[in-house]
Amino acid sequence: MAESKLIIFDKGRRTALDDTELVAALRAHDERAYTAAWIELGPMVRRLVTRFFGAGADTPDLSQEVFLRLFRRIGELRNPSGLRGFVVSICLGVARNELRRVRVRRWVFLTPSGDLPDAPVAGPDLEAREALRRLYAILDLVSVQDRSLFVARFFEKMEIAEVAAAHGLSYGTAKRHVARATIRINRRIERDPLLARYLDLASAQRADTPARGTRARAEVQADLSAAEPMDDEMDDEMDDADQGDARDDSGVQDSKEKT
């Protein structure tokens, strides 16, 4: 992630700071640096939170939590030029924690509804809005880790090395986990005829080529790159994981009915 110049206004003078200098100012507890960090990094944080949860997320509160953690943990950043990756890592951590809390509240009926709010879609395309709503509903069914990896890799278009760093994983482990998360999510997409059809059509229109199946469908929504091929053993693991997801989903539903 490239550094950018940041302008701090101070009594009529303008001072240009890059990310390294901003880190130094934050470590020195310069109050101007707190404001500067919010202005410079805020749009990225708010965008990531919104893409993780869709519309309706408590974006301001979650963004504030991200910056509070950033200010407390700035001393942990070993390479100041990696500020943006550090912020993404914190943001994903806050989002994962919030998602876990949201799911617990739904399970014990602490919220009036377990439905996800509609995500924003530009224009009056109702079919696109419905497709996006269904995609977020699918993301709400997969594990917190799978959702985090998927959002980072394909919504934020982060390279595997950046995904690995943001999740505290090795490059190889991140690559495998992203591939597995992609397949899990694609399989759920495949089970939704409306969503699969919409993504197929959108893929054909965007690429001006015939739709290429499930992988192409995911590319439309999240700019998916091709997942690495899986061997038979890995594919069996995915089947077991899908069956486990189904058991988990039914178990949650059973517990709700009993309650």
Question: Quick one: 172 and 219 in the same domain?
Answer: yes
The boundaries of the domain holding residue 137 are: 118-243
Residue 93 located in a structural domain: yes
Distances (CA, A) of 202 to 127, 157, 219: 11, 19, 10
Residue 65 located in a structural domain: yes
Question: Quick one: 144 and 51 in the same domain?
Answer: no
Strand, helix or coil for residue 103? helix
Residue 54 located in a structural domain: yes
Q: How many CB atoms lie within 10 A of CB 235?
A: 12
Domain boundary among 83, 112, 141: 112
Domain boundary among 112, 141, 173: 112
Higher pLDDT residue, 28 or 7?
28
Residue 21 located in a structural domain: yes
User: Would you call 240 exposed, middle or buried from its count of C-beta atoms within 10 A (0-12, 13-18, 19+)?
Assistant: exposed
Question: Quick one: 139 and 79 in the same domain?
Answer: no
Q: Which residues does 223 contact at the CB level (< 8 Å), separation at least 6? A: 154, 157
Q: What is the pLDDT of residues 200-215, one digit of tens each?
A: 777 676 655 444 444 4
According to DSSP, residue 17 is labeled: E
| 120 and 55 Cβ atoms separated by less than 8 Å | yes
Q: What is the pLDDT of residues 102-160, one digit of tens each?
A: 776 554 444 444 454 444 444 447 777 888 888 889 999 999 999 999 999 988 889 99
Question: Quick one: 99 and 135 in the same domain?
Answer: no
When divided into structural domains, the chain yields a total of 2
| 166 and 88 Cβ atoms separated by less than 8 Å | yes
Looking up residue 76, the CATH number of its domain turns out to be: 1.10.1740.10
According to DSSP, residue 224 is labeled: P
For 16, phi then psi, to 5°, come to -90, 125
Which alpha helices (H) appear in 108-231, and where do they start and end? 126-139, 144-150, 160-167, 171-190, 193-207, 214-222
Residue 49 located in a structural domain: yes
Looking up residue 158, the CATH number of its domain turns out to be: 1.10.10.10
